[in-house]
């Protein structure tokens, strides 16, 4: 028992500094849970760029030196395993138990459908959905362009979620209803209901992942899980049109490998989370930063208008919502930089690997450490890279052109005079890097393109401060604000 509580563990030669905290077994779990970023900052000040801390029965070695990231991300799976940690979380949070053999095929299927020609199809579908969602209300007479007010976080999350969901999970079949309009109407209603339930789950997510839900919320989380398993189920999906290859091929692969139907329903819920949980919040922050920084808004808007003009899409009174292609999205270095800058500020994943055999790790100052079998290695790039003032001067400021040179090429970043490979890591890295990053970028850019091309936007309160981030969500991807922000929009022409 004492051994399990970690009482006998001490730092051996060549191991990173060890800090077990004062509570046996639990170690620093409460400090970590309360504010992971503050806790890690404190530990980094105390121990330096590598340290091992006890958190809820597990020893986590945090590596804060970005020059070691490559070695960790590229280490063979026989030494550092990404799956075992992720599998436990996925089972706890989505009820899904991954099968062993599936990973490389699943990855290949994601690459097939979320890049290249597959991405072209998804871009078209998302574009169509955004047009339906954003311009479905008949516009009032042209000379009247009333302002509409909304909450920015809710507005962005709602629209981007629904456009992405309908593109991936398919739309109402026209055959089942009398006409196309009715099918579209049903899609709009259904996707809105799904979003509202998703937000309820989203709010419970951090406590659920830490197994810290109070009993009432636990019941609610169970109810929501069942709702999603059933709403996204294989059976219901058969009645839909336009289900993406990303969903259908992965499902077919699982079915061929003997995964039962109820487990495949759960898998779909997990994919919904992975694909929709970060994109909407990122779109929110990007639009908010643009609204708070008029120089950035002006530059990005000019770029958007130039691309539209050069591709023969002048937006004027009465023109239908613009069709934006992938080709057009490739001509926007300033918008790309503004998006990357947004992700630098608000994306904060925790990247964890289990150590399967003792292995050595060399730091950039030449010191070598042993990482112990059974421990976990963790990276938190938000703190160690994205907010490092040496890499990104004035790290708390939004600088829309931080990542781009005046000639449109990408900037390089340095630390200690050496060029960095990992200077922004919103998508993770290595084998577990987000396979949806190109689609996510496309969705956000399509949404922002349409917003800027068709609407005037302003904050209801021009003096509004940028809201603080909700610190309970460190480690789970894009951060969310503690409160929403009111804004208004109206047709430009």
Kindly list the residues in this chain that would bind ligand HEM in the complex (CB under 6 A).
Answer: 86, 110, 114, 274-275, 278-279, 282, 347, 349, 351, 426-428, 432, 434-436, 439-440, 477-478
Residue (9 or 112) nearer to ligand HEM, CB: 112
Crossing angle, helix 152-169 and helix 180-209, to 10 degrees?
110
Q: How far is the CB of 395 from ligand HEM (least distance, A)?
A: 18
Residue (6 or 349) nearer to ligand HEM, CB: 349
Residue (51 or 427) nearer to ligand HEM, CB: 427
Q: How far is the CB of 282 from ligand HEM (least distance, A)?
A: 4
Q: How far is the CB of 373 from ligand HEM (least distance, A)?
A: 21
Helices (H), 28-151: 29-34, 36-47, 69-74, 83-94, 103-114, 116-135
C-alpha 313 chain-centroid distance: 31
Residue (52 or 110) nearer to ligand HEM, CB: 110
Q: How far is the CB of 440 from ligand HEM (least distance, A)?
A: 4
Q: Parallel, antiparallel, or unpaired for β 80-81 and 351-355? A: antiparallel
Q: How far is the CB of 388 from ligand HEM (least distance, A)?
A: 18
The torsion angle over the Cα atoms of residues 464, 469, 470 and 474, rounded to 10 degrees, is 170
Q: Is 35 annotated as a binding residue?
A: no
Query: How many Cβ atoms sit within 10 Å of the Cβ of residue 302?
Result: 12
Residue (16 or 428) nearer to ligand HEM, CB: 428
Q: Is the dihedral of CA 102, 106, 108, 109 positive or negative?
A: positive
Q: How far is the CB of 334 from ligand HEM (least distance, A)?
A: 19
CB closest to ligand HEM, residue no: 436
Residue 472 CB partners (closer than 8 Å, separation 6+): 206, 207
Q: Is 278 annotated as a binding residue?
A: yes
Instruction: Decide: residue 360, CB within 10 A, 0-12 exposed, 13-18 middle, 19+ buried.
Output: exposed
First CA to last CA across the chain, in angstroms? 72
Q: Is 14 annotated as a binding residue?
A: no
Residue (342 or 472) nearer to ligand HEM, CB: 342
Annotated binding site: 278, 376, 434
Annotated binding site for substrate: 278, 376
Annotated binding site for heme: 434
């Amino acid at each position: 028992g004492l051994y399990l509580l970690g009482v006998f563990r001490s730092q051996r030669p060549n191991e990173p500094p060890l800090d077990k905290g004062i509570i046996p077994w639990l170690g620093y779990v409460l400090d970590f849970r309360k504010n992971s970023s503050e806790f890690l900052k404190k530990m980094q000040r105390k121990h330096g760029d590598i340290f091992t801390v006890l958190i809820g029965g597990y020893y986590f070695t945090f590596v804060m030196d970005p020059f070691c990231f490559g070695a960790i991300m590229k280490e063979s799976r026989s030494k550092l395993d990404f799956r075992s940690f992720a599998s436990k979380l996925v089972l706890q949070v989505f009820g899904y138990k991954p099968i062993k053999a599936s990973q490389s095929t699943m990855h290949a299927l994601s690459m097939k459908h979320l890049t290249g020609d597959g991405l072209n199809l998804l871009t078209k579908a998302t574009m169509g959905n955004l047009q339906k969602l954003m311009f479905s209300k008949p516009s009032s007479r042209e000379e009247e362009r009333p302002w509409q007010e909304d909450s920015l976080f809710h507005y962005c999350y709602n629209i981007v979620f629904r456009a992405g969901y309908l593109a991936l999970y398919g739309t109402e079949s026209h055959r089942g209803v009398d006409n196309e309009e009715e099918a579209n109407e049903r899609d709009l209603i259904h996707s809105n209901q799904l979003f509202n339930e998703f937000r309820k789950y989203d709010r419970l997510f951090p406590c659920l992942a830490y197994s810290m839900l109070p009993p009432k919320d636990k019941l609610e989380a169970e109810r929501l899980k069942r709702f999603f398993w059933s709403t996204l189920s294989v059976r219901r999906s058969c009645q839909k049109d336009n289900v993406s290859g990303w969903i259908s091929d992965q499902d077919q692969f699982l079915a061929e490998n003997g995964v039962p139907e109820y487990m495949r329903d759960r898998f779909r819920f997990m994919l919904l989370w992975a694909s929709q949980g970060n994109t909407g919040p990122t779109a929110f922050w990007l639009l908010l930063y643009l609204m708070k920084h008029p120089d950035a808004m002006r530059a990005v808007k000019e770029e958007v208008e130039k691309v539209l003009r050069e591709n023969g899409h002048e937006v004027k009174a009465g023109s239908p919502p613009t069709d934006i292609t992938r080709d057009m999205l490739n001509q926007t270095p300033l918008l790309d930089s503004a998006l990357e800058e947004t992700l630098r500020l608000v994306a904060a994943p925790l990247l964890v690997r289990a150590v399967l055999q003792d292995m050595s790790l060399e730091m950039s100052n030449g010191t070598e450490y042993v990482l112990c079998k059974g421990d976990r290695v963790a990276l938190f790039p938000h703190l160690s890279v994205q907010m490092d003032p040496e890499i990104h001067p004035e790290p708390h400021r939004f600088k829309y052109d931080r990542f781009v040179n005046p000639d449109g090429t990408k900037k390089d970043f340095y630390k200690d005079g050496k060029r960095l490979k990992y200077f922004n890591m919103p998508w993770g890295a290595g084998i577990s890097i987000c396979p949806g990053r190109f689609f996510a970028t496309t969705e956000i850019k399509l949404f922002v393109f349409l917003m800027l091309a068709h609407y005037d936007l302003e904050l209801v309160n021009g003096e509004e401060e940028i809201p603080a981030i909700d610190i309970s969500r460190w480690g789970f991807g894009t951060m969310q604000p503690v409160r929403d922000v009111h804004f208004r929009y109206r047709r430009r022409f």
